[in-house]
Chain A
Amino acid sequence: MEEPFVKIAFSTSGDDLGAPLDARFGRTPKFLIYDLDTNTFTVIDNRKTMDSAQGAGIQSAQAVARSGAGAVVTGNCGPKAFRVLSAAGIRIYTAGASTVREALDLYRAGGLTEADAANVEGHWS
């Protein structure tokens, strides 16, 4: 099956595939952007957004959109982030995986279901 997108963003606190998948979307310290075509990745620092008082979900969603990712895999997604990601045409998958690699494997195996709504309130964590 042809993928509708090439890059996937993972919320994470680390710099490689073995790093934990962060349960937070808006306030994740970093995003790992994985390229499914070349099997390479880059890491975006999100700490400035993580520390903002309000609007972290919106800013993180903008960062993901700028990265060119067509999908996000994260632990949880709040209502504002969901609105922005949806508007940008980015698919959202929530996963309980412990590492980015595990989440990526789950995605490849078709083990992730796409979220059709926010699964947490804003400022949940």
Chain B
Amino acid sequence: MILAIASGKGGTGKTTVAVNAARVLGSEVLLLDCDVEEPNAHLFLPGSVSEAEPVSIPVPEVDESLCDGCGECGSFCEYHAIVSFGTLPLVFPEMCHGCGGCMMVCPPRALREVDRRIGVIETIRAGNITLIQGRLDIGVAMAPPLIRAVKARMKDGLPAILDAPPGTSCPVIATLRDVDFVVLVTEPTPFGLHDLKLAVETVRELGIPFGVVINRVGVGDGRVHAYCAEENIPVLLEIPDDRRIAEAYSRGELVVEALPEYRERFLGLVGNVMRRIADRRG
């Protein structure tokens, strides 16, 4: 089971759902924090980083003795990370996505790969949960390669829960690609609904089965419920707007541990998702 927890709007409770679902699963589970610009799942788990591994992407470096200034590299690069005017190319490593294309199209083979560090992958073990989190280096704006590196730590046969970044842009797509199921966490407010619709469009485009968790039920209005009913989107779990949940959160505690009465609900969510994945596989 590879389950991603995503949302359009930020701050709806993705991490809360991800860490609590991972905990109630009981058996060994990987929790991947793919919000590499701001990983926060670790705040809710005891234990400290046991392994830290730097992640790099290959960026081009010009061999000045071989370059004839043909400019093929610059016309190939979609991201303008390498630019040439019939002269030695200029390289902008911070723009480079590490695809390696410029090196392939260079006729005199004047470009070589050098590693550029973009971040680190850290591992924290806490009970049944092994948390693997990406942490982008300060000043780096290249999240997808680091997210892919985090996802490459998944192990066959071991269930994984992915905590996605907010929004619907490239880092979210990198997180959601190839997962079995997506849980979209939203809140019953106009902002929540607006961004949920964007997230639903994204997940439908990717062709991944999904359902919704509505958090803070009691605030806002009924439009998120109405939208889900209209669109035949299953509501997998409703979490009430309970001040005690916010208090537990602010202390870095898991809801299912601080407020055991919520345990059943999260168990229900996990069971529901697992059934849907199994049904789909037939």
Q: Give B81's nearest chain A residue, CB to CB.
A: A55
Interface pair B80/A62, CB less than 8 Å apart: yes
Is residue B141 contacting chain A, with contact meaning CB distance below 8 A? yes
B76–chain A nearest beta-carbon distance, Å: 14
Of A7-15, A81-89, A92-100, A112-120, the segment with at least 4 beta carbons within 8 Å of chain B is A81-89
Interface pair B90/A55, CB less than 8 Å apart: no
Interface pair B85/A54, CB less than 8 Å apart: no
Is residue B191 contacting chain A, with contact meaning CB distance below 8 A? no
Interface pair A55/B85, CB less than 8 Å apart: no
Interface pair B85/A65, CB less than 8 Å apart: yes
Interface pair B80/A87, CB less than 8 Å apart: no
Q: Give A49's nearest chain B residue, CB to CB.
A: B80
Q: Give B141's nearest chain A residue, CB to CB.
A: A54
How many Å lie between the Cα of A88 and that of B80 in the bound state? 15
Is residue B92 contacting chain A, with contact meaning CB distance below 8 A? yes
How many Å lie between the Cα of A19 and that of B46 in the bound state? 61
Range of interface residues on B (Cβ < 8 Å) = 10 to 19
Q: What residues on B are CB-neighbors of A58 within 8 Å?
A: 80, 83, 92, 95
> Which of A58, A61, A62, A87 is most buried by chain B, counting CB atoms within 10 A of its CB?
A58
Q: What residues on A are CB-neighbors of B141 within 8 Å?
A: 54
Q: Pick from B79, B81, B90, B95: contact of A87, CB below 8 A.
A: B90
8 Å CB contacts to B: which residues of A70-106? Answer: 80, 83-84, 87-88
How many Å lie between the Cα of A58 and that of B141 in the bound state? 17
Is residue B272 contacting chain A, with contact meaning CB distance below 8 A? no
How many Å lie between the Cα of A54 and that of B142 in the bound state? 11
Is residue A59 contacting chain B, with contact meaning CB distance below 8 A? yes
Q: Pick from B83, B87, B95: contact of A54, CB below 8 A.
A: B95
Interface pair B95/A88, CB less than 8 Å apart: no
B71–chain A nearest beta-carbon distance, Å: 11
Interface pair B79/A55, CB less than 8 Å apart: yes
Interface pair A62/B83, CB less than 8 Å apart: yes
How many Å lie between the Cα of A80 and that of B87 in the bound state? 17
Q: What residues on B are CB-neighbors of A55 within 8 Å?
A: 79-81, 92, 95
8 Å CB contacts to B: which residues of A37-85? Answer: 54-55, 58-59, 61-62, 65, 80, 83-84
How many Å lie between the Cα of A61 and that of B95 in the bound state? 15
How many Å lie between the Cα of A88 and that of B86 in the bound state? 9
A89–chain B nearest beta-carbon distance, Å: 8
How many Å lie between the Cα of A84 and that of B87 in the bound state? 11
How many Å lie between the Cα of A54 and that of B79 in the bound state? 8
Q: What residues on A are CB-neighbors of B81 within 8 Å?
A: 55
Q: Give B85's nearest chain A residue, CB to CB.
A: A88
Q: What residues on B are CB-neighbors of A87 within 8 Å?
A: 83, 85, 87, 90
How many Å lie between the Cα of A80 and that of B96 in the bound state? 13
Q: Give B79's nearest chain A residue, CB to CB.
A: A55
How many Å lie between the Cα of A77 and that of B80 in the bound state? 17
A118–chain B nearest beta-carbon distance, Å: 14
How many Å lie between the Cα of A76 and that of B90 in the bound state? 21
How many Å lie between the Cα of A80 and that of B94 in the bound state? 10
A60–chain B nearest beta-carbon distance, Å: 10
A5–chain B nearest beta-carbon distance, Å: 15
CB within 8 Å for A83 and B95 given contacts A58-B80, A62-B80: no
Known: A65-B85, A88-B85. 10 other contacts (CB 8 A): A54-B95, A55-B79, A55-B92, A58-B80, A58-B92, A61-B83, A62-B80, A80-B95, A83-B92, A87-B85
5 cross-chain pairs, A with B, having the tightest CB-CB distances, nearest first: A55-B80, A58-B80, A88-B85, A87-B90, A55-B95
20 sample A-B contacts, Cβ–Cβ < 8 Å, listed by A number: A54-B79, A54-B95, A55-B80, A55-B81, A58-B80, A58-B83, A58-B92, A58-B95, A59-B80, A61-B83, A62-B80, A80-B92, A80-B95, A83-B90, A83-B92, A84-B83, A84-B90, A87-B85, A87-B87, A87-B90
